[in-house]
Structure 1
Amino acid sequence: MNTYAATINATEYPPHLKHKIIFETFEQLPPNEAMLLINDHDPVPLRFQFQSTHPDGFTWEYIEQGPSVFQIKISKL
């Protein structure tokens, strides 16, 4: 079983706070730690944002891919 330094259920936050909270949580991760993101849709725009702001600084692994629940393991390199 995977363990995560943090778990964020994005469905619990208003839209204008989701990315802010996700990135703040990621920034607080020690290197080689991971967080679990839970969402109700595939967060493709968020992945593009990670690629833009943290190139080569993260990994993105789908744990569950819908259709109604998406779980993504985001690791800090």
Structure 2
Amino acid sequence: MSTQTVTQIDVRTIPPYERHAQIFGSFDGLQAGQALEIVNDHDPVPLRRQFEARSPGQFAWSYLQAGPALWRVQIDKLAASADESGGSCCSGGACG
């Protein structure tokens, strides 16, 4: 099994009004099988709800550390489903 690429974002260092946009931008730039690790000072429940609404079926959410002072969440990017890739896993010539 290959080593997964994980990009860490410490959201405590990002102004609150920029956090989600930066996280989604980073997530969108990942390839299937790569992941983001979010470091925060609280449980990012609102972020998870946004992921569920915006990217259903495209991510896996795992708590690596669950407070009380530090929260670390890994968000894995999953392969696109057949519906999202035009009906075939090989659309665009990319079978995985």
Fold shared, TM-score > 0.5 on shorter chain: yes
Larger helix proportion of the pair? 1
Bigger proportion of residues as strand: 1
Residue 10 (structure 2) aligns with: 9
Q: 2:43 touches 2:67 (CA, 8 Å); kept in 1?
A: yes
- 1:25 alignment counterpart: 26
* Structure 2: runs of 5 or more not aligned: 79-96
Greater RCO (Cα-Cα under 8 Å, separation 6 or more): 1
- Give deviations 1:25-74, integer Å, cap 9, x for gaps: 00001111111100000000000000000000000000000001000000
Q: Distance in 2 between matches of 1:55 and 1:3?
A: 21
**Within the alignment, does 1:40 sit opposite 2:41 as a pair?**
yes
Structure 1 unaligned blocks of 5 or more = none
- C-alpha distance in structure 2 between counterparts of 1:34 and 1:5, whole Å: 5
* 1:5 positional shift: 3.0
Q: 2:64 maps to which residue?
A: 63
Q: TM-score, normalised by structure 1?
A: 0.94
Kindly name which structure, 1 or 2, has the bigger radius of gyration based on alpha carbons.
Answer: 2
Residue 36 of structure 1: SS of its match in structure 2? strand
Give the number of aligned pairs.
Answer: 76
How far is 1:4 from its partner?
4.0
